[in-house]
Chain A
Amino acid sequence: MQLSADALSFVQSGVSILVAAADGEGRPAIARAVGCRAVERSGRLLVVLRADEGAELLAALAAGSRIAVMFSRPQTNRSLQVKGDQVQVAPLGPRDRDLPRRYLAAMDAELRPLGHGGRFLEAVLAVEESALLAVSFQPCLSFDQTPGPRAGHSLAAQP
């Protein structure tokens, strides 16, 4: 599936990103991502994970788990969940080294009005303290996850 231009812009903006996978026994693993970008032409998404925080998640992905990623904008609660497969994990490439720093800046702009920016946000994301990995996947499904009765409704695939 192809995400809409609006969705693509949303997932690459200052939004909270949580990633989930399932291990061989069907147990869930969760981790926070510190940046996302769309991979040109392939339609794939790439999210940045801290290696030390996401060990179980990375192990599940390495064992072949599919992936679920939620993007949520703190100021509006607008949320989108994208599920995908064909997951690849690789060291952060040269062109993505700057992604976490840009993500931090975008999140800071988003969270400052809510009083959670600055040093607090740096403590939460702790991107300086860890090795970073790029996790890319092919989106298959997407869901409107904005809180409310319609949360979880499938979004029609865009042409």
Chain B
Amino acid sequence: MSSPPRLGAIRACFEGVIPVGIATVAADGWPNVTYLSQVHYLDEDHVALSYQFFNKTRANLLTHPVAELQLIDPTTGRSWRLTIRYLRTETAGPLFETMKAKLAGIASHSGMAGVFRLLGADVCRVERLIALPGEGLTPRVPPAALLPALRGSVARLAAAGPLDAALDGLMQDLEQRFRVRHAALLLPTADGQRLYTLASLGYPDSGVGSEIAMGQGVIGVAAREGTPIRIGHMTVDQAYARALKDQAGTGALENEIPFPGLASPGSQLAVPVVDAQGLLGVLFVEDPGELRFGYDEEDALVVLADALATRLRRGEAAPVRPRRRAPATPARASGPPLEVRHYAANDSLFLGEDYLIKGVAGAILWTLLRARQDRGREEFTNRELRLDPALRLPAHAENLEARLILLQRRLAEKASGLAIEKTGRGRFRLAVRRPVRLLEM
């Protein structure tokens, strides 16, 4: 006697590859049968149906809340039948946004872009799942070994060490353990209105420092709603299509550094990095191929994001005892002077004519450069920065490490003669290899 089938094991049926059939019954007793654009797996006992038009199926469900679904697993060809009972409709919030984004991909995939628009997510309770007769095929593609990948990556995130090494390790694990080709980690800006790229994988330009508005595209929606957003098909929906590069040149500082994402991704998945205190970032992966990330990959990245949240919140504890070390010989500043311009309104910094960074990271560098000019200082600690009221650090001061990493990476990419060099736990040096002229604008 085989154990009863589990809905979680056949979630591939809900990826939108093969449409799901639904039968309902009208008040007058007439049966009705049609296809659904999208059925979303919520948990073992619940699914949600996409509600796009007030059609016969929906009218029937509201008066007669039981439906029978016919599912086909696209990996095996096996058929399943699901009996469900309509409970409620959600018209906003995480489930709604998750389904709306997925529908945008399905719509583009099936030539229905501009026709499909989600009006609601009809949440239904699962009353019965039965396997229909038929042998089915052995899946061509063996399931990815996500659990060992997850175990290794979570252990690495939990290990001691500086945050920048942990982030490098995370990107390496995404690539080598999860076989992800393109990824980015974004953190919220101090005002919480935008997200900035702190680390990335697989792009010609790292895009470190590039920004995305809260609510914009799959990343912005995942951040705003605090829910994973996954699209399995190339979408032409403006809400999710990568229009970010097109915004460059509009003059807005936010668009000075282009987001590095693929021009036409076939698969995208954005997972919020959250804990009880709120949003810490968004982990984003994408691929040119379609249907690259399924429910299982989403589950794995959600757990990985949880470990990342713990790591980000832990920050870097201040050193108990400063290491005794010989003061470094200050690098000789030589060459033509570098003009560093600071705009106080948004703490943006320009090196010569080139935009470098703004916000907290901009304020940090300006503070460091002034301390060097006024007091000859080159060695600093994270702790003193945390206590500096001029920096306008957000409430979660552990974000300071992230800001320093952002600054360090931007300076390294600009190769301008300025650098942040770690000198120990919670300590670093501002290395200045050419004369600088500070201009407060």
Query: Which A residues fall within an 8 A CB radius of B?
Result: 18-22, 26-32, 50, 52-53, 65-70, 72, 77, 79, 81, 83, 116, 119-124, 126, 129-130, 143, 145, 147-149, 151-152
Given contacts A20-B32, A147-B37, A30 and B21 within 8 Å (CB-CB): yes
A70 near B35: Cβ-Cβ < 8 Å: yes
- 1/0 per residue B60-84: CB within 8 Å of A? 0000101111101010111101000
- In the bound complex, residues from chain A placing their C-beta under 8 Å from that of B35 are 18, 70, 72, 79, 145, 147
CA gap between A124 and B53 in the complex, in Å: 29
Chain A CB within 8 A of B376 CB: no
Identity of the chain B residue whose Cβ is nearest the Cβ of A143 in the assembled complex: B56
User: Please, which residues of chain B bring their CB within 8 A of the CB of A122?
Assistant: 77
Closest chain-A Cβ to B29's Cβ sits at a distance in Å of 6
Q: Tell me whether A145 and B34 are in contact in the complex, defined as CB-CB below 8 angstroms, given that A18-B70, A123-B136 are known contacts.
A: yes
Q: Which residue of A65, A121, A152 contacts B56 across the interface (Cβ within 8 Å)?
A: A152
A68 to B111, CA, bound (A): 26
Given A20-B23, A27-B68, A122-B77, 18 extra CB contacts under 8 A = A18-B23, A19-B33, A22-B30, A28-B25, A28-B31, A30-B21, A52-B133, A65-B31, A66-B30, A68-B32, A70-B35, A77-B110, A81-B33, A83-B30, A124-B134, A129-B134, A145-B34, A149-B115
Select which of A21, A52, A151 is within 8 A of B34 by beta carbon: A151
Neighbouring A residues of B55 by C-beta, 8 Å: 151-152
- Interface status of B116 (Cβ within 8 A of chain A): yes
| Minimum distance in angstroms from A31 CB to a CB of chain B | 7
- Given A66-B30, A130-B133, do A26 and B64 touch, yes or no (CB 8 Å)? yes
Q: Verify B33–A69 contact, CB threshold 8 A.
A: yes
Residue numbers in A under 8 Å from B64 (CB-CB): 26
Chain B residues near A65: list those with CB within 8 A.
Answer: 31
B132-A20 in contact (CB<8A): no
Inside 8 A of B68's CB, which chain A residues have their CB? 20, 27-30
- The answer for the CA separation of A59 and B134 in the assembled complex, in Å, is 21
Chain B residues near A30: list those with CB within 8 A.
21-23, 33, 68-70, 81
Q: Closest B-chain residue to A66, C-beta based?
A: B30
C-alpha gap A68/B77 in the complex (Å): 24
Whether B31 pairs with A123 at a CB distance below 8 angstroms is: no
The reply on B24 being an interface residue by CB < 8 A is: yes
Are A28 and B134 touching (Cβ within 8 A)? Answer: no
The answer to whether B33 and A126 have CB atoms under 8 Å apart is no
Which of B19, B31, B56, B134 touches A22 (beta carbons < 8 Å)?
B31
- Closest-by-CB residue of A relative to B78 is A123
Q: Which residues of B contact A120 (CB under 8 A)?
A: 77, 137
Q: Is the CB of B79 within 8 A of A32?
A: yes
Alpha-carbon gap, A124 to B70, bound state (A): 12
17 contacts between A and B (CB under 8 A): A18-B23, A20-B32, A28-B25, A28-B31, A28-B66, A30-B23, A30-B33, A32-B70, A67-B31, A68-B30, A81-B33, A124-B79, A147-B37, A149-B53, A149-B115, A152-B34, A152-B56
Contact of A27 with B115 at beta-carbon distance under 8 Å, contacts A32-B79, A123-B136 already known: no
Name the B residues within 8 Å of A145 (CB-CB).
Answer: 34-35
- A32 CB contacts on chain B under 8 angstroms: 21, 70, 79
A116 lies within 8 A of B79 (CB): no
Question: Which residues of A sit under 8 angstroms from B29, Cβ to Cβ?
Answer: 22, 26, 66
A101 to B312, CA, bound (A): 60
Task: List the A side residues contacting B112 at CB < 8 Å.
Answer: 77, 147-148
- Residues of chain B within 8 A (CB-CB) of A72 are 19, 35
| Interchain CA distance A78-B19 in the complex, whole Å | 13
Give Cα A145–Cα B37 distance, bound, in whole angstroms. 12
Residues of chain B in range 114-147 having any CB-CB distance to chain A below 8 Å? 115-116, 132-137
Q: Is the CB of B21 within 8 A of A22?
A: no
Known: A53-B132, A119-B137. A68 touches B31 (CB 8 A): yes
Tell whether A81 pairs with B70 under 8 Å between CB atoms, given A30-B21, A116-B18: no
As a 0/1 sequence over residues 12 to 26 of chain B, the CB contacts with chain A under 8 angstroms (1 = contact) are: 000000110111110
Which residues of the other chain, B, contact A148 by a CB distance below 8 angstroms? 53, 112, 115
Given contacts A18-B33, A147-B116, A28 and B78 within 8 Å (CB-CB): no
Q: Which residues of A contact B135 (CB under 8 A)?
A: 123, 126, 129
User: Are A27 and B66 neighbours in the complex by a CB distance under 8 Å?
Assistant: yes
Q: Which 3 pairs, one residue from A and one from B, show the smallest C-beta to C-beta distance?
A: A123-B77, A20-B23, A20-B33
Residues of A with C-beta under 8 A to B23: 18, 20-21, 28-30, 68
Complex Cα distance, B266 from A114, in Å, reads 16
Q: Which residues of B contact A77 (CB under 8 A)?
A: 110-112
